[in-house]
Structure 1
Amino acid sequence: MDNKTITIKEVAEYANVSQATVSRVINGQSSVKEKNLNKVLQAIEVLGYTPNSAAKALATNRSNSVGMLVGSLDGPFYGPLMHSAEDAIYRYGMHLIVTSGQDCEKKEVESLNFLRAKQVDGVIISSDKISDDAIVDYTTKFKNFVLLNRSIPEIEQHCLYLDNELGGYLATKHLLDHGHKKIGCITGPLTQHDARDRLLGYIRALAENGVSYDPSLTIEGRFDHLDNFEKASILLERAPELTAVFCQNDNIALAVYDVCTQKGIRVGDDLSVVGFDNNFMSIHVRPLLTTVGFPVHDMGKIAGQMIIDQIKGVTRSHQRKLMPTLEDRDSVKDLRPAIAC
């Protein structure tokens, strides 16, 4: 159908609701029952109705859009994060505008300035490069905001993050509990908070089990695919006595798998590997990758609801610190002595 001919009245008739209900959905008001909300959204999609966004913005003093800054537009982490956030926001008749910093502070700053110029009603920020002080300064320029994957005391109530230190601890303790003592660690970029916290968890687990931290068994990698093959090769050549490696994300773990294949090392037998994130690739390698689960879908969903509540002035308690879980699969060998019957 030609969307220029579609009116609110026709949407209301199709959805079997009042025109006032359709108007409330279009303007993002929270007083619409979920059943009616879904009926109106379906009618809008089927009929191809497009409200006049400029007129709506003037009438409501809102753009009915939320901005989101992420580190990258590709990879197995940001895709689910953006999808879950958009789904939560769209349910309230609003749209998500996504920008990427592309691993560059200058581009992250430019992206935030772009979102300000678009007069978004709120912003979800996932920034690796901008400093804490600069983030705090930027959040004063956005009335509504959520900060992901970082905890800054001055804006704690706006932060949503994973307990990365616990994740690093769980991964390393799992290896220790299976009898491993020589455990290497390939980190993400140590300029990033999550990489540093996961390293602290690794060190804490070693200390609690009486194993001294050896810096030579740690090497800095990346959370994307670049250079990790080379870094894994260097670590395994430097420390051939390693029986296990904690990789700070699953991309790094896959690089270790590739190095092992090239060197004739059997993962899960000659070398145990634990990853982090539990992305979709972890169940498509052999042996199946033991990894720390990052509830990325939950993070996106909660972030979307947090920003909607701020925009609408709704006071609600949200979980702001997410807990990792260990996904125990097949890539860790048990080195503990067998107990005689």
Structure 2
Amino acid sequence: MITIKEVAELAQVSQATVSRTLNGHSSVKEANKQKVYAAMEELGYQPNTFAQALASNRSCSIGMLVGTLDGPFYGPMMHEVEKVVRSENYHLIITSGHEEYDEEHESIRFLRSKKVDGLVLTVDTLSDSELLEISRQNEATVLINRYIPEMADRCVWLDNEKGGFLATEYLIKKGHTQIGCISGQLSKVDSRDRLQGYRNALSHYGVDYNPNAVVEGRFDHQCNHDAIRRLLDRDIPLTAIFCMNDNIAMTAYTLCLERGLRVGEDISIIGFDNVPFGQHMTPGLTTVDFPIQKMATAAAKKVMAIVKGKSSASQPIEPIEPTIISRGSVKNLA
């Protein structure tokens, strides 16, 4: 079996330098790193990762908690985080909280039991104080799509309130004043923020807010048929609907067409997220861009920088600005 001593002798560096290189220590000069890697390759040396973890008090793994393990939102998020983590010779352990309080708690306990070096969390039910306590126990905790002022340097988030404002403003500027809204679950911060943005835009442009024009749906596919039917059955002369994500918008397309309403002509629809299928709908779905790949990459780089001692808890991360992706689902009445 090849040993660290043999790698050090071939690379003409100390055994301590080999050890620090294997553990990703930032103090090792790049030239020495390359010598160590070349010697390892020549000798066919395979590091004992379990022994490394014991010696360095690191598992060389990052834990990630997501809402669900499928769908067009979390899939790209997990892919981008895993790509960054693997590029740093770490492994990603993923679990799902299913947007349930007990399951989110249990998932975090599970990740801690694996002695992960850092956490990337997308959570819906845990309170700010609970997340702050988690971050105190592991400084390398980064939140995606959640903002807590005390963790501003470890929150990678989209300004959802502004996104709701922009979506509603877009419809108003196209001449729409009778604007319905299908929200996500109002237990979720995203939904409440987007709803506040919707109301802010109506107020800003002098359009009366009608609570009967708002129906609670879900960000997944459950129950949205009923929510949209209820909205369409109400005695409101709607010309447009703001759907708080593209899943909801896709269901709205189906139900409007069932009622003989042509999307982009008889009824206008705007979504939120800009998932790939939106551009292939007929007409193409106008939506608010939610750059999840960009956010996931930023979160993964942040957690790795903290783990490797290259980032200090100091500078707040600026929110990612939402933008409108304009396609054919909104008719210009102006």
> TM-score surpassing 0.5?
yes
The Cα shift of 1:6 comes to 8.9
CA contact 1:267–1:331 (8 Å) conserved in 2: yes
Tell me the distance in 2 between the aligned counterparts of 1:204 and 1:267.
25
* 1:28 Cα deviation after fit: 2.9
Q: Report matched runs for 1:96-115 at 5 Å.
A: 96-115=92-111
How far off is 1:302 after superposition?
Answer: 0.6
Question: 1:129-184: per-residue Cα shift (whole Å, max 9, x none)?
Answer: 11122222222222311112111122222222110011001111110000000000
The 8 Å contact of residues 217 and 239 in structure 1, kept in 2 or not, is answered as: no
Q: Deviations over 1:44-88 (max 9, x none)?
A: 8xx998632211102222111111111111111111111111111
Q: Does 1:195 align with 2:187?
A: no
How far, CA to CA, are the matches of 2:224 and 2:100 in structure 1? Answer: 19
Report the secondary structure of 2:72's partner residue.
Answer: coil
The aligned counterpart of 1:292 is: 288
Which residue in 1 is equivalent to 2:125? 129
| Identity over aligned pairs, percent | 47
In the alignment, what sits opposite 2:327? 329
**8 Å Cα contact 1:24-1:32 kept in structure 2:** no
Q: What residue in structure 2 maps to residue 257 of structure 1?
A: 253
* 1:154-193 → structure 2 map (5 Å cutoff): 154-193=150-189
Cα distance change, pair 239–53 in 1 and its aligned pair in 2 (3 A)? farther
Contact 2:165/2:198 (<8 A) preserved: yes
- In structure 2, relative to structure 1, the CA distance for the partners of 1:235 and 1:93 (3 Å cut) is same
- Kindly state the Cα deviation for residue 33 of structure 1 after the two structures are TM-superposed: 5.7
Distance, in Å, in 2 between the alignment partners of 1:32 and 1:253 is 53
- State yes or no: 1:308 paired with 2:304: yes
Q: Provide the C-alpha distance between the structure 1 equivalents of 2:142 and 2:244, rounded to a whole number of angstroms.
A: 25
Of stretches 158-167 and 49-58 in structure 1, the one that deviates more from structure 2 is 49-58
Q: Deviations over 1:79-118 (max 9, x none)?
A: 1111111111211111111110012111110010011111
Distance 1:268 1:48 in 2: 62
* Greater Cα offset, 214-223 or 156-165: 156-165
One of 214, 223, 230 as aligned partner of 2:226: 230
Alignment map for 1:20-99 (pairs within 5 Å): 26-30=22-26, 51-99=47-95
Q: In the superposition, relative to structure 1, how do residues 27 and 202 fare at CA in structure 2: closer, same or farther (>3 Å)?
A: same
Quick one: distance in 2 between partners of 1:175 and 1:83? 33
- Cα distance in 2 between the residues matched to 1:49 and 1:292: 50
User: Is the Cα contact below 8 Å between 2:155 and 2:317 reproduced in 1?
Assistant: no
Residues 250, 275 of structure 1: 8 Å contact kept: yes
Letter in 2 for 1:324: P
Q: What SS does the aligned partner of 2:269 have?
A: strand
Letter aligned with residue 327 of structure 2: R
Q: Is the 8 A contact 1:294 1:324 kept in 2?
A: yes
Check the 8 A contact 2:153/2:317 in 1, yes or no: no
**Matched residue, 1:271:** 267
Residues 71 and 101 of structure 1 are in contact (CA less than 8 Å); yes or no, is this contact kept in structure 2? Answer: yes
Q: CA RMSD in A?
A: 3.0
Report the alpha carbon displacement of residue 24 of structure 1 after superposing the two structures with TM: 5.8
Deviation of 1:261 (Å) = 1.9
Aligned position for 2:241 = 245
TM-score (norm 2): 0.88
Compared with structure 1, are the counterparts of its residues 216 and 52 closer, same or farther at alpha carbon in structure 2 (3 Å cutoff)? same
Amino acid of the residue matched to residue 151 of structure 2? Answer: I
TM-superposed deviation, 1:19: 11
AA at the equivalent of 1:326: I
- How far apart, in 2, do the equivalents of 1:265 and 1:50 lie? 64
CA distance in 1, matches of 2:2, 2:77: 34
Identify which of 211, 218, 223 aligns with 1:215: 211
Q: State the distance in 2 between where 1:119 and 1:264 align.
A: 56
Residues 50/178 of structure 1: CA separation in 2 closer, same or farther (3 Å cut): farther
Shift of residue 29 of structure 1?
3.6
